[in-house]
Amino acid sequence: MEKINTDYKCLIEVKKRIDQKKADYERYNFSPVQNDILKTFFDLAQEYTSLEEFYLISVVVLQEYMGVAAKLYLVNDATHELEFVCGSAEGLQIANAKAPAHIRLNEEMYAADGVFVVPIFTRMLPSDIQPSQDNATLQGMLEVEAPQKLTEQEKFFLGKFANRIAFNLYNRRIFVQNIKHLKFINTLVMDIEHNVIIPNMYFKHLFNRIRFKIRDVAALEKKMNDMQNTMHSNCNSCDGMIRQVSELHQDLVDYHQEMLRHHNNCSLFLESLFRRDHFEKGYLVLRSRKCFVEKEIIFPQLEHFARRFEAQGITIEKPADMAEPIPLRVDIGLLSQVYANYFSNAVKYTEEIINHAGLPRKAVAYGRKLLPDYFGIGKPGVKFNVFSTGPHLDQEESDAVFTEGFRGKNSMRQNGTGHGLAFVRQVVEMHGGEAGYEATEEGNNFFFILPVDER
Rounded Cα distance between 246 and 234, Å, is: 19
Q: Give residue 409's pLDDT.
A: 60
Q: What is the mean pLDDT of the segment spanning 433-454? A: 92
Which 8-state DSSP code applies to residue 383? E
Q: What is the mean pLDDT of the segment spanning 153-178? A: 89
Angstrom distances, CA of residue 96 to CA of 86, 121, 173, 326, 447: 12, 21, 18, 35, 34
What string of H, E and C letters represents the secondary structure of 275-287?
CHHHHHHCCCCCC
**Percent of the chain with pLDDT strictly greater than 90:** 44
Which of the four pLDDT bands, split at 50, 70 and 90, describes residue 417?
A: low
- What residues are paired with 438 via a beta bridge? 445
> Which residues does 96 contact at the CB level (< 8 Å), separation at least 6?
76, 83
Q: Is the pLDDT of residue 411 over 60?
A: no
Pairing of the two strands 353-354 and 443-451: unpaired
Cα 163–chain centre separation:
34
What would you report as the CA-atom Rg of the chain, rounded to the nearest whole angstrom? 33
Q: What is the mean pLDDT of the segment spanning 183-197? A: 78
Look at 174 and 373; give whichever has higher pLDDT.
373
User: Any idea which fold 276-451 has?
Assistant: Heat Shock Protein 90 (3.30.565)
Which 8-state DSSP code applies to residue 98? B
Domains of the chain: which residue ranges? Answer: 31-179, 203-273, 276-451
CA atoms within a 13 Å half-sphere pointing along the CA-CB vector of 193 = 11
| Whether the Cβ atoms of residue 388 and residue 350 lie closer than 8 Å to each other | yes
What CATH number has the domain spanning 31-179?
A: 3.30.450.40
Q: What is the mean pLDDT of the segment spanning 100-105? A: 92
Q: Give residue 123's pLDDT.
A: 64
Which of the four pLDDT bands, split at 50, 70 and 90, describes residue 70?
A: very high
Q: What are phi and psi of 99, to 5 degrees?
A: -70, 145
- What residues are paired with 122 via a beta bridge? 137
Q: Is the pLDDT of residue 416 over 70?
A: no
pLDDT tens, 285-305? Answer: 899 999 999 999 999 999 989
Q: What are phi and psi of 23, to 5 degrees?
A: -65, -40
Which of the four pLDDT bands, split at 50, 70 and 90, describes residue 211?
A: confident
Q: What is the helix (H) or strand (E) element at residue 70, kind and residue range?
A: strand 70-75
Nearest Cα to 261, choosing from 347, 193, 340? Answer: 340
